[in-house]
Amino acid sequence: MKKVLNILTPENVFIEYELAGIGSRFAAFIVDLLIQLFVFTVALLGLYFAGFDYEALIRELGFQVLAFAITILILFHLLYFPFFEMVMKGQSPGKKLFSIRVIRQTGEPVGIFDSILRNFLRVVYIFPFLYLLDAFLVMLTKNYKRVGDFAANTVVVKVRKNDQIVKVEDLLKQTENGDDYIESSNIYPVTHFEYEVLKEFLARKNSVGERRYVFAYNFNKYFSRKFNVQDKYSNPYEFFEEIIRRNSGLY
């Protein structure tokens, strides 16, 4: 069963994200891990064929060489994710392959500090039982969060093609640009864009809490001005439903 995260941004924009579950996140992690191992192996082979004498270095320094190599490998692993999440806007190659993205829980893009914090906690994966604990957290918590997500206040969501954040300002701008309205005998003709936005709001109004009054006020102001029907409807929802009915083919 999919989980959905509803976010109301500071700009009074309502956004819905489908959260990424353990399956896609684990698969993306494996892909990223394979990429890291490939790069590290290529680097070692490159040094070997360039004449780097590993055996002599090991004989001279012993355990220090192994400790240094492990440290470099861990740092590379930890820096890999913040680097790509900044360059690819919340994604790594593995996440991009499986169409998932890291964002802040507020809906904003993940920042460099957030990415470093959530990913440097991956160091606990050195201990397998802690990795399993992290996996259980993803499966059992409300928003599919692991320890790093709790620390950085981030979530991992699925990326949908052609996602569009809709604002009331977009509607106002559309009218200012002189977009053509629907030609019909309909007394409340709206564009397809306006129809879909209003229909979506009515479908989700009960899930946004008290913020729905902010949306209702702005939509009512916009459509009342457009159709010059100020104070005609005592309940703005009746007005919205009337617009939807008249533009849905029911009249």
Please check whether residue 74 is in contact with residue 123, taking contact to mean a CB–CB distance below 8 angstroms.
Answer: yes
Entry pTM = 0.60
Please check whether residue 208 is in contact with residue 8, taking contact to mean a CB–CB distance below 8 angstroms.
Answer: yes
Please check whether residue 222 is in contact with residue 171, taking contact to mean a CB–CB distance below 8 angstroms.
Answer: yes
Q: Please report the pLDDT score of residue 196 as a whole number.
A: 81
How buried is 170 (Cβ within 10 angstroms: 0-12 exposed, 13-18 middle, 19+ buried)? middle
pLDDT digits (tens, 9 = 90+) for 154-195: 999 988 765 544 445 555 555 455 444 444 456 788 887 788
Q: What is the band of 52 on the pLDDT scale with cuts at 50, 70, 90?
A: low
Give the mean model confidence (pLDDT) for residues 206-214.
79
Pair of tokens at residue 217: 């006020």
Q: Report, in angstroms and rounded to the nearest whole number, the Rg of the chain calculated over CA atoms.
A: 26
pLDDT-above-70 percentage for the chain = 73
Is the pLDDT at 126 greater than 60? The verdict is: yes
pLDDT-above-90 percentage for the chain = 16
Pair of tokens at residue 181: 């309205």
Top pLDDT among 64 and 76 is at 76
CA angle 109, 110, 113 (to 5 degrees): 145
Query: Reduced to 3 states, what is the DSSP secondary structure of residue 248?
Result: coil
